[in-house]
Amino acid sequence: MKAYKPKNRLSAQEYINGILNGDRVILSRAITIIESSLESDKKLAKKIIQGILPASGKSLRIGITGVPGVGKSTFIEAFGKFLIKNGHRVAILSIDPSSQRSKGSILGDKTRMEELSGMDEAYIRPSASGETLGGVANKTAESMLLCEAAGYDIILIETVGVGQSETAVHGMTDFFLLLMLAGAGDELQGIKKGIMEMADMVVINKADGDNIKQSDRARIQYQNALHLFPPAASGWTPVVTKASALKGMGIETIWEEILKFKKQVTESGYFEKNRNHQKLRWMYDNINEDLKQLFYGNPEISAQLIQLKKEVLDSHISPVEAAQLILNSFKKSL
Amino acid sequence: MKAYKPKNRLSAQEYINGILNGDRVILSRAITIIESSLESDKKLAKKIIQGILPASGKSLRIGITGVPGVGKSTFIEAFGKFLIKNGHRVAILSIDPSSQRSKGSILGDKTRMEELSGMDEAYIRPSASGETLGGVANKTAESMLLCEAAGYDIILIETVGVGQSETAVHGMTDFFLLLMLAGAGDELQGIKKGIMEMADMVVINKADGDNIKQSDRARIQYQNALHLFPPAASGWTPVVTKASALKGMGIETIWEEILKFKKQVTESGYFEKNRNHQKLRWMYDNINEDLKQLFYGNPEISAQLIQLKKEVLDSHISPVEAAQLILNSFKKSL
């Protein structure tokens, strides 16, 4: 039996050339191949990535997060348009492991960024679908490299502030922006612990109309709070600012602060150091994930694990002893 | 050649009986066996743990952290004495992977807790030494089980607030207490990101003399800051309080809050749920650590890894591809 092979595929070199020439249609088709789970596509994807790799990396990568309702799409629309007006080419990707392509992911509905999606200098791609965060994150990071090779010099990676995907986005971007709303603290319910500490910037969004006073108060509160926290490895002190994406207010200040950040970390050497660290971290995450898959995907191991978990919970066996037993089984099974 | 076997060892059952009878000398000797790296001792340790396991778990486990200079020893001395006066038996352990037994670890110098160390109801044990945090944490957690079986109903696990050992302590305790000083924020330099978010309670220590006003201000600042942060899985809102361990002030309030916490999480079911989660986490951490050891400890793998890291950093190969290559080598080597 011959494996199914889609017909309309180009050669790896044709994809590579198309991407390097900034051909949006080829770029989209190449990302589809990266997202594909077909074996033949996986081989093709490897070659494409290998080919564009030397041309990747020359962008500023910005992660943007915030709970649903915070106005992320409106913010990205306003921010993206501002960047394009200032001569940039902007690619917008997203990580949302819960999304199903068929159900439409966060950015699937391009009408939410109506103007931006019509611009030549903007490239919008919805989240890859997939079962595991690791898999989705891999595909997004690879798509990012393709966008960079296609000449997009600003990459915005969006995620929803409710899960571990923030850590993934933080691990592949240079700057991490958290969108929040002013309010009685209720809006925090959706933000997971630790996300605030990753932020290089907190933007109080929807700071307009009746909301202005409250937003000022929130800005000061967050600024004070962040000062109480330990400094980041980058040496950058997180900035709290307010914006009204709807009215296009505050966007310029945000960009100025990001440029200040970029200048500071480039001069200090942190920018490159962090990029290198991220590359290796990406490799190690894949190794460790595959290693776990090799272990936990073993049917004998998973059967024994069910039994051992029960015994550990019942204090019949110590967790350390249980781990040793199952590791010994694994070694024997090899 | 016969393996070296220390002479003065009792039988596993003798250790178990001694521990269950609350014999401090036997308890100490058993912990020494747990900390030993001799193969014969490791086997003996397994039997001892197996024997005392059903009698373990009946304590309140409190993690205590703070940078050097914050007054940890003085605080533990005051807190321990208070607990004993209230009818408790207190065991004090510590995790400090950097400590070398020969150099004396944080708690090695018992004179720092002079009164407490002389009391029958207190048991003080310095940090195990070891190369890896995982190894040291394992030994401390096992020692904790022995102390519980010996009748200590409060376990204090101390660590220095400068590394990953806080995560280990947080993962094996019911309540996590962070000691801080009032000040201009400089004292935060030593506290790593993320530690603040783990705290169930922040105690502003040395709130005495000229420091009282500043401590009040710090207390309010931290209280406000913590309110801005997402709620913990326990449902508990972190408390900020002040104390002068030196003058014995504030200790009673701290204990009342801890009891409030215990009542709340016991009634909500979180206490048991968290204990179960910790047991399984402990097992999984050991499995994953051993698995990594199996992989990265392989000489061929580590040689290939050096080469691949270079190629990843030079963008000659993608991190995902590098991970796949090395995993394939590993599978072939099995």
Over residues A43-64, the pLDDT tens digits come to 999 999 999 999 999 999 999 9
Mean model confidence pLDDT for chain B: 88
pLDDT of residue A101 exceeding 80: no
pLDDT of residue A176 exceeding 90: yes
Six token digits for residue B303: 């040689």
The distance of B182 to chain A (nearest Cα, Å) reads 11
**Neighbouring-strand partners of residue A155:** A61, A91
State the Cα angle at B42 between B37 and B43, rounded to 5°.
155
Using the Cβ of A50 and the Cβ atoms of chain B, whether some distance falls under 8 Å is answered with yes
| Collapsed DSSP state (helix, strand, coil) of residue B128 | coil
Residues on chain B touching A324 (C-beta within 8 angstroms): 286, 290
Q: Are A250 and A203 in contact (CB under 8 A)?
A: yes
> Quick one: which H or E segment has residue B90?
strand B90-95
pLDDT, residue A161, reads 58
More confident residue, A82 or A232: A82
pLDDT band per the 50, 70, 90 thresholds, residue A192: low
Could you tell me how many residues make up chain B?
334
Six token digits for residue A30: 């190449």
Strands B175-181 and B60-66: parallel
Using the Cβ of B259 and the Cβ atoms of chain A, whether some distance falls under 8 Å is answered with no
B-chain residue closest to A185, CA distance:
B228
Q: Indicate the residue of B284, B313, B334 with minimum beta-carbon distance to A276.
A: B313
A-chain residue closest to B231, CA distance:
A189
Cβ pair B323:A231 closer than 8 A:
no
State the Cα angle at B321 between B316 and B322, rounded to 5°.
70
Cβ pair A294:B327 closer than 8 A:
yes
Using the Cβ of B220 and the Cβ atoms of chain A, whether some distance falls under 8 Å is answered with no
- Of the given ranges (A75-79, A100-104, B95-99), which has the lowest mean pLDDT? A100-104
CA dist., res. A298 & res. B61, Å (int)? 36
Count of Cβ atoms closer than 10 Å to residue A210 Cβ? 6
pLDDT band per the 50, 70, 90 thresholds, residue B19: very high
pLDDT band per the 50, 70, 90 thresholds, residue B66: confident
Using the Cβ of B332 and the Cβ atoms of chain A, whether some distance falls under 8 Å is answered with no
pLDDT, residue A160, reads 74
pLDDT, residue B61, reads 98
Residues on chain A touching B328 (C-beta within 8 angstroms): none
CA dist., res. A307 & res. A325, Å (int)? 12
Using the Cβ of B287 and the Cβ atoms of chain A, whether some distance falls under 8 Å is answered with yes
pLDDT, residue A100, reads 47
Using the Cβ of A194 and the Cβ atoms of chain B, whether some distance falls under 8 Å is answered with yes
Instruction: Over range B145-151, report the average pLDDT.
Output: 98
Residues on chain A touching B320 (C-beta within 8 angstroms): 49, 138, 142, 282-283, 286
Q: Indicate the residue of B230, B290, B334 with minimum beta-carbon distance to A188.
A: B230
pLDDT, residue A244, reads 92
For residue A181, what are the contacts with CB-CB under 8 A and spacing of at least 6? A69, A70, A71, A187, A204, A205, A206, A218
Among A181, A217, A229, most B C-beta atoms within 10 A, so best to mutate, is: A229
Tens digit of each residue's pLDDT (9 = 90 or more) over A7-17: 789 999 999 99
Q: Please, where are the H alpha helices in chain A? A: 12-20, 24-35, 39-52, 72-85, 114-117, 133-149, 165-170, 195-198, 212-227, 251-268, 270-296, 299-313, 319-333
Residues on chain B touching A132 (C-beta within 8 angstroms): none
Using the Cβ of B74 and the Cβ atoms of chain A, whether some distance falls under 8 Å is answered with no
Predicted TM-score (pTM) of the model is 0.82
Instruction: Over range B120-130, report the average pLDDT.
Output: 88
Instruction: Over range B56-81, report the average pLDDT.
Output: 92
pLDDT of residue B192 exceeding 90: no
More confident residue, B99 or B68: B68
| Collapsed DSSP state (helix, strand, coil) of residue B207 | coil
Using the Cβ of A288 and the Cβ atoms of chain B, whether some distance falls under 8 Å is answered with yes
Q: Indicate the residue of A185, A276, A320 with minimum beta-carbon distance to B142.
A: A320
Cβ pair B189:A321 closer than 8 A:
no
The distance of B314 to chain A (nearest Cα, Å) reads 9
Cβ pair B188:A229 closer than 8 A:
yes
Instruction: Over range B61-89, report the average pLDDT.
Output: 93
Tens digit of each residue's pLDDT (9 = 90 or more) over A302-321: 999 999 999 999 999 999 99
Provide the ipTM: 0.86
Instruction: Over range B31-49, report the average pLDDT.
Output: 94
CA dist., res. B121 & res. B86, Å (int)? 11
- Of the given ranges (A110-119, A250-259, B31-40, B58-67), which has the lowest mean pLDDT? A110-119
Using the Cβ of A57 and the Cβ atoms of chain B, whether some distance falls under 8 Å is answered with yes
Among A136, A306, A320, most B C-beta atoms within 10 A, so best to mutate, is: A320
Tens digit of each residue's pLDDT (9 = 90 or more) over B253-311: 999 999 999 999 999 999 999 999 999 999 999 999 999 999 999 999 999 999 999 99
Q: Are B166 and B192 in contact (CB under 8 A)?
A: yes
Could you tell me how many residues make up chain A?
334
pLDDT, residue A42, reads 93
Cβ pair A283:B331 closer than 8 A:
no
Mean model confidence pLDDT for chain A: 88
Residues on chain A touching B142 (C-beta within 8 angstroms): 318, 320
